[in-house]
A and B are shown apart, each in its own frame.
Chain A
Amino acid sequence: MNKPLVGLIVGGVVGAFDGLSALVSAPEVAPQIATIVVGSTFKGVVVGLIAGFFARKVRSLALGIAVGLAAGLLFAYLVALSPDPATGKHYYWEIMLPGSLAGAIVGYATQRYGRRPDEARA
């Protein structure tokens, strides 16, 4: 499969997991967990696609991780802008930190796996 597709799938999975694990660090958000997971998955897919398209052009493990991290951070920030509807609390750190690391993992995956357009099929 090609790199953007890898990014999409891995991003989605990691994003879903990231959303679920919010329960670990902030158990009080349990009621909204479904919304969180859906949002996280969507965020992960977007980050994964970005990282995947980047990996098509640039072949560098370090840069790929950096791009994933940055994209993860950005979208996590965008999500963190809207406060918790119930408590009105902003969860900046709780969303952005794991979000950026999740993005980094997706960045790694897109660099390491998936076929680039110029690579012949095995």
Chain B
Amino acid sequence: MSGSGVRGVEPSDRALERLREVVQWPDLAGTRYELVGEVARGGMGVVYRARDRELERDVALKVIALEAADGSTAERLRREARTIARLEHPGIVPVHDVGTLPDGRVFYAMKLVSGRRLDELLRSGLPLRERLRLLLRIAEPVAFAHAHGVIHRDLKPENVMVGPFGEVLVMDWGVAKDRDQPAAPGGSTPAEVPGATAHGTIVGTPAYMSPEQARGDVEHVDARSDVYALGAILYFMLVGRAPGPASASPDAVTRTWVGPRTGSPRLQPPREIDPELPRPLEAIGLKALAAEPAARYPGVAELSADVARFLEGEPVLAYPEGLAERALRLATRYRTPILLVLAYVVMRVALLLVARV
């Protein structure tokens, strides 16, 4: 077979680009998976698309980046897999398998998610009510997780996938805090909380991170930190960018505090950016984004309930209405019957006038 099939032509650019990825691929020999391609890169590792030969379906494999292949990261990946596996909910990506590759790296296999990332979907434009309904759907798996003692700690639009039928999947539970799986002895370090470092400067995407998380104040990070993140997502839905001061650019990614605990920079209220936004909605967002956890909604369910109330045309807890606003809201909500009754009254009066003539 000498010479057959061996070409002397230099590979095309496209082939070389792919080769660049191939060279980084993990070896899946001896496993039931056949590697197809790379899907995404995360903090802890890379997510690949692979074919499960046994079940004849494509799955997503999350593999530790070789760089971090020491013991503690492997254990963290396993814990992440176990945490997600425990949470069986349509909004939480299911875990199928966990194991070790031939080269020693830990991986877990999960459902291959198809759909659009929330931030892309929102940028493509959706009516406001649709966006709010989406938020309600995002809140469900988060509330479910909280009920099972798991806090996500890294909620942001990039971590939410929306399927073609509007179904929502919350991804990347890599830094979730699970009460059933306490961290390694020594407690979770600030480095395990997304983005926080020792010096008070923040890298990454802190815009969705609650102040207590950004400070690395691990003791005080609880379900309300996720409430903050959901509030930040709501803010993004209302205004088109992550919460931040007025000077923040539309693509603001970093935020720095100088020194610890000087308080969060002032958030620009949504109505400053878009005066057309309803006041109750702004109030909901700002309440969820309160710097003090105690000032926020006590849980995701309460936030959802308020948003649902807004959608139903009912008064919202975060926003005490004035009399005039209440009247307007009721008039909008009941406009059909009001119009009918008005028509009836006008009719009667008109008949009277006509008879008089």
Chain A residues with CB under 8 Å of chain B are 21, 24-26, 61, 65, 93-94, 97-98, 101-102, 104-105, 108-109, 112
Collect the chain A residues with CB atoms within 8 Å of residue B337's CB: 105, 108-109, 112
Beta-carbon contact of B348 and A25 below 8 Å: yes
**Is B344 a contact of A93 with CB atoms below 8 Å?**
no
CB <8 Å contact, B343 and A93: no
Inter-chain contact A108/B351, CB cutoff 8 Å: no
**B347 and A108 contact, CB distance less than 8 A:** no
Count of chain A to chain B residue pairs whose CB atoms are closer than 8 Å in the complex = 41
Q: CA–CA, A108 to B342, complex, Å?
A: 14
Nearest residue (CB) in B for A107 is: B340
The closest CB in chain B to the CB of A102 belongs to: B344
B340 contacts A105, C-beta separation under 8 Å: yes
- Cα distance A82–B69 when bound, in Å? 94
Q: Chain A residue with minimal CB distance to B353? A: A25
Q: Is B352's CB under 8 angstroms from A101's CB?
A: no
Q: Whole-angstrom distance between the alpha carbons of A94 and B344 in the complex?
A: 12
Q: Is there an interface contact between B344 and A105, defined as CB atoms closer than 8 Å?
A: yes
Query: Closest CB of chain B to A15's CB: distance in Å?
Result: 12
Contact of B351 among A65, A98, A112 (CB under 8 A): A98
Q: Are A98 and B344 in contact (CB under 8 A)?
A: yes
Interface hits, B302-357 → A, CB 8 Å: 336-337, 340-341, 343-344, 347-349, 351-352, 354-355
> Could you name 26 residue pairs across A and B whose Cβ atoms are closer than 8 Å?
A21-B348, A24-B349, A25-B349, A26-B352, A61-B336, A65-B336, A65-B340, A93-B351, A94-B351, A94-B355, A97-B347, A97-B351, A98-B344, A98-B348, A98-B351, A101-B340, A101-B343, A101-B347, A102-B344, A104-B343, A105-B337, A105-B340, A105-B341, A105-B344, A108-B337, A108-B340
Cα separation A98 to B340 with both chains bound (whole Å)? 11
**From residue 26 to 44 of chain B, which have CB atoms closer than 8 A to chain A?**
none
Complex alpha-carbon distance, A94 and B347, angstroms: 9
| Pick from B341, B343, B352, B354: contact of A24, CB under 8 Å | B352
Going nearest first, the 5 A-B pairs with the smallest beta carbon separation are A25-B351, A25-B352, A101-B344, A105-B340, A24-B348
Residues in A neighbouring B349, C-beta threshold 8 A: 24-25
* Known contacts A108-B340, A109-B337; 6 further A-B pairs (Cβ under 8 A): A21-B348, A26-B352, A26-B355, A61-B336, A98-B348, A108-B337
Bound state CA distance, A39 and B90, in angstroms? 56
- Residues in A whose Cβ lies below 8 Å from that of B352: 24-26
Contact A98 B355 (CB under 8 A): no
B250 smallest CB distance to A (angstroms): 40
Chain B residues with CB under 8 Å of A61's CB are 336
Contacts of B347 in A (CB 8 A): 97-98, 101
A112 neighbours in B (Cβ, 8 Å) = 337
- Whether A108 lies near B343 (C-beta < 8 A) is no
Complex: A104 Cα to B337 Cα, angstroms? 9
CB contacts (< 8 Å) of B340 on chain A: these are 65, 101, 104-105, 108
Distance between A22 CB and nearest chain B CB, rounded to angstroms: 9
Q: How far is the CB of B267 from chain A (nearest CB, A)?
A: 39
- Give A105 to B347 CA distance when docked, in angstroms: 14
What are the residues of chain B within 8 A of A104 when measuring CB–CB? Answer: 340, 343
Determine how close the nearest CB of chain B comes to the CB of A110; give it in whole angstroms. 12
> What A residues does B336 contact at CB under 8 A?
61, 65, 108
CB distance from A97 to the nearest CB of B (A): 5
Considering only CB atoms, which chain A residue lies closest to B336 in the complex? A108
Give the distance in Å from the alpha carbon of A25 to the alpha carbon of B345 in the complex.
10
Closest B residue by C-beta to A62: B336
User: A78 vs B123: C-alpha distance in the bound complex, in angstroms?
Assistant: 58
How far, in whole Å, are A97 and B343 apart by their CA atoms in the complex? 10
